[in-house]
Amino acid sequence: MGLAVAGPAAPVHAAADPHLPTPSGSRPVGTTTLHLTDTSRPDPWVPNIGVREMMVSLWHPARVPGTRRAAYLTPTESRLLLEDAGLTDLPSDLLSTVRTNAWTDAAPAGRRHGSPLIVLSPGFGKPRSELTGLAEDLASHGYVVVAVEHTYESVATTFPDWRVTTCAACDHPIRDTAFWRKATQGRAADVSFVLDQLPRRSGAALIDPDRIGMSGQSVGGAATQAAMVTDPRIRAGIDVDGLTAGEVSPGLARPFLFLGRQDNFSPGMPAADTWERDWPLLTGWKRWLVVDGAVHSSFTDLALIAEQIGIDLGAELRAPRGTAITLRYVRAFFDLHLRNRPTPLFTGPSAACPESIRSGSARRPVRQGGR
């Protein structure tokens, strides 16, 4: 998963300027990081640690641009992520040089009733930064976005005192059902704690507590479903290319979107079993969309960065196109369900995104349109 080379012939050469796409919205984007500690529970992966610590990144629409761009990763995080992917012939600090679009010294733009909030959860073993491009784009359109680093489930997490934790959970069999359930339930608890803390840590006026959504990639997508089941504050959710863990029984009535690879999550394929199991239990607005030519990383920054530095991930879909499709559908989903902004994107084939296929909806009729 993530930065994995498709084959031995894949070219590898570092670009001079790896960068994230320019956000499509009109607003500058500010960002900050928060260190949170949940004293009510031990760490699920390292139980002798009696508290659950985590780092989160928060992006928000800003009044004006700042002067200091946010770092994508620290040099140590870059080195550990590249080593995990077997890319040791690249400069070890390469991923710390990725150019972002958010400013660390940009004041939030005030809104009378606060902005809708989107929570993001990354894939297993990956840092929260892999969803930075999506976060920046959403913030440029007026959303507040928080990405949660699920400690000991990422290759590297840096804390304010420069401690770096690694992936203790990676020692477990990832395909084991009990492990997957433990991971999704632990992430759901992380998200609920973050939602408890954000009003106090970020300023209550920044967020509208009645308009909260969540999206996650891979296990983060499964965790989105789990978090919605346990936390009614999350009004709408997206599972991006992630097997689910059977959390929705007896049902989930809030809006939910499955978005994944056509060659993995089309109905009838083995990997789609969990989506097919959950589909009839989703009793509200729902869609099942697959993207032709995508690979697992096509929905994150990592595919885009890999293409920029010359790594072939084996995707038929070019990385910038995969990024554009992801940003378009995720934003349209939350615009519809958190802002009541109708869109034709979910009612039929899209000329703007011909690579997207409505597999689930085609096999199982669902209510069209909005809520």
pLDDT at 3: 54
User: Helix/strand/coil (H, E, C) string of the chain?
Assistant: CCCCCCCCCCCCCCCCCCECCCCCCCCCEEEEEEEEEECCCCCCCCCCCCCEEEEEEEEEEECCCCCCECCCCCHHHHHHHHHHCCCCCCCCCHHHHCECCCECCCCECCCCCCEEEEEEECCCECCHHHHHHHHHHHHHCCCEEEEEECCCCECCEECCCCCEECCHHHHCCCCCHHHHHHHHHHHHHHHHHHHHHHHHHHCHHHEEEEEEEEEEECHHHHHHHHHHHHCCCEEEEEEECCCCCCCCCCCECCCEEEEEEHHHHCCCCHHHHHHHHHHHHECCCEEEEEECCCCHHHHCHHHHHHHHCCCCCCCCCCHHHHHHHHHHHHHHHHHHHHHCCCCHHHCCCCCCCCCEECHHHHHCCCCCCCC
Q: pLDDT > 90: what percent of the chain?
A: 78
pLDDT at 333: 97
Q: Render pLDDT for 110-155 as a digit per residue (tens, 0 to 9).
A: 766 789 999 999 999 999 999 999 999 999 999 999 999 999 999 9
Q: Render pLDDT for 269-285 as a digit per residue (tens, 0 to 9).
A: 998 999 999 999 999 99
CA distances from 197 to 136, 194, 252, 254, 301 (A): 22, 5, 25, 23, 27
| Lowest mean per-residue pLDDT among 8-12, 253-257, 291-295, 314-318 | 8-12
Q: Render pLDDT for 340-359 as a digit per residue (tens, 0 to 9).
A: 999 999 987 777 788 778 76
Average pLDDT, the chain: 90
pLDDT at 173: 78
Q: Render pLDDT for 53-62 as a digit per residue (tens, 0 to 9).
A: 999 999 999 9
Whether pLDDT at 317 is above 70: yes
pLDDT at 246: 86
Burial label, 105 (beta-carbon count in 10 A; 0-12, 13-18, 19+)? middle
Domain boundaries, the chain: 29-363
pLDDT at 223: 97
pLDDT at 340: 96
pTM of the model: 0.92
- pLDDT band at residue 1 using 50, 70 and 90 as cut-offs: very low
CA distance 137 to 334: 13
Q: Respond yes or no on whether the N-terminal peptide bond of residue 75 is cis (omega within 30° of 0).
A: no
Q: Render pLDDT for 162-200 as a digit per residue (tens, 0 to 9).
A: 999 999 999 887 777 889 899 999 999 999 999 999 988
Whether pLDDT at 63 is above 60: yes
Structure-token pair, residue 253: 């009535």
Burial label, 206 (beta-carbon count in 10 A; 0-12, 13-18, 19+)? buried
Task: List the CATH code of the domain at 29-363.
Answer: 3.40.50.1820
Q: Which residue has the higher pLDDT, 333 or 15?
A: 333
pLDDT at 12: 46
pLDDT at 23: 97
Q: Render pLDDT for 282-313 as a digit per residue (tens, 0 to 9).
A: 999 999 999 999 999 999 999 999 999 999 99
Q: Render pLDDT for 82-94 as a digit per residue (tens, 0 to 9).
A: 999 999 999 999 9
